[in-house]
Amino acid sequence: MQKMTDKGTITALLRRLRQQRIPRLLEMEERAMKGEKLSERDFKYLEMVIADSKKVVPLFQRNPEFQAPVKKLYSLYDAITKAALHNEEHTHLAN
């Protein structure tokens, strides 16, 4: 029964990722990779999605077949935060 409930929850989470979160995260990554600073709103959003993703770790641990998309998502978070930090550091050095 748990596996069926998990599958429904995972399906809903993956749909939300595909339709809402990944497009916004990719847009943020693109801006950060161009050297643009992220806004306070961007950072709040990133904090929210990271916090949300931590809440569902047990769900994906119980369902290892879905771990690959989660790993890609964490790689995206990492790329965004590293680029944003780099941009912030260079902005402060230039000033």
Number of domains in the chain: 1
Residue that the structure tokens 């809903």 belong to:
12
Q: Note down pLDDT in tens along the chain; length 95 residues.
A: 677 789 899 999 999 999 999 999 999 999 999 999 999 999 999 999 999 999 998 998 999 988 888 889 999 999 999 999 999 898 766 65
pTM score, two decimals?
0.84
Print the domain residue range for 51: 2-94
Helix (H, G, I), strand (E, B) or coil at 56: coil
Instruction: Report pLDDT for 4.
Output: 76
